[in-house]
A and B are shown apart, each in its own frame.
Chain A
């Protein structure tokens, strides 16, 4: 029961993007479509899972003073793994996510979970925490991507909603739509949080 709570807290109550406002750069930058949001979310989840696992294993070996640089090296290694794997197997997605893949390393969400959770808890809870937070992040990005794709191109995951109509409200695919869409989704999540609390 405790683990279940630990797992689901990332979805609404402590949603990393809409409630905690962490990792806003990739959330705004890559979500031009639902698919890109999903890809970025899963890439971040993988890094989070890897770094949380390793950090919780080595937490007793690292001297307290150098823990932040050590965490950064662990995170950066997993980011490099994602970067090279994605470039090899999913070149299209890699192209459209671009700069934001190497920038997972400075995503405050990953660092935040390593510092606030994995360095204090055992490996089991750390993995559960990483899964929950990662999926919450994925959910957030897919939702923002979905909203922008539906309004901006009248499609979802590349499937046209209205046959023959392709030019939606372009502003939602461009930069301003990301900010405005995010603003309204924050309101929605604050409402949901209040409802479920």
Chain B
């Protein structure tokens, strides 16, 4: 028991669990005031120059604890606003309604929603409120997690890594001045062409709970983990990075399926507690697997972009690219967490 106590105790750089989200938002405002502004009660992170007249507004949101998603992606060429909920808890409709009003430049607003029951319902209510105020609102739902069976008998696949790629690509399209229908259609295309799977080496600790979300032995891993520490497909003995990467990548490849000759964006994501050097070890194995299958990784993203607090582990996302999605992936972006072409 003494050993378990060491790995499961709450040891965090926070003041209190209750103030964590607001303290972090204030920190973002202090550090990135050139890109974003932050409003409180309801909590919203808004692009500094919003609303942009004639530009489709992009609003996303979800529980906190997945940083830099979503607040780190607010800025030019990506999101116009993000709504952070409590840690791992969906934000509330008043947040999304405020965000929608703040970024509506007259061309309508797209809500980008990850497929979790609470997120869907809260965004639906927000869309009803915003439409009641006369706003034009569309929504796209991401559900790329192959670890969950998509059937009539579950809430469906979870939205994970593809959400980050979608926000970037659709953000580039909206920045270029496309209308709401075009932006919505592109968002659906990105989601339809992306698949992800994750794994965990260790659990995360939700500050308010103060203990690990799940117990896992030193020689075990959880395959198919969700971004809130939800159970995955399988608990197995720990394997080497190459073998883990191959399990994740092959499962993803077979699901869409991705075929010989396809160009993809390969996204190796850290869960929050895994160092970049290990992510590059995984990227190497992903690259070799794709080469073997004749799939060309035309673009890469490697780093911790959709996290689960301090969980150690990774996820692999593949997105099948075409000329449109490649162009908007390459378009300039200037946000706290992603920046190129500027």
Is A bound to B? no
Chain A interface (Cβ within 8 Å of chain B)?
none
Chain B interface (Cβ within 8 Å of chain A)?
none
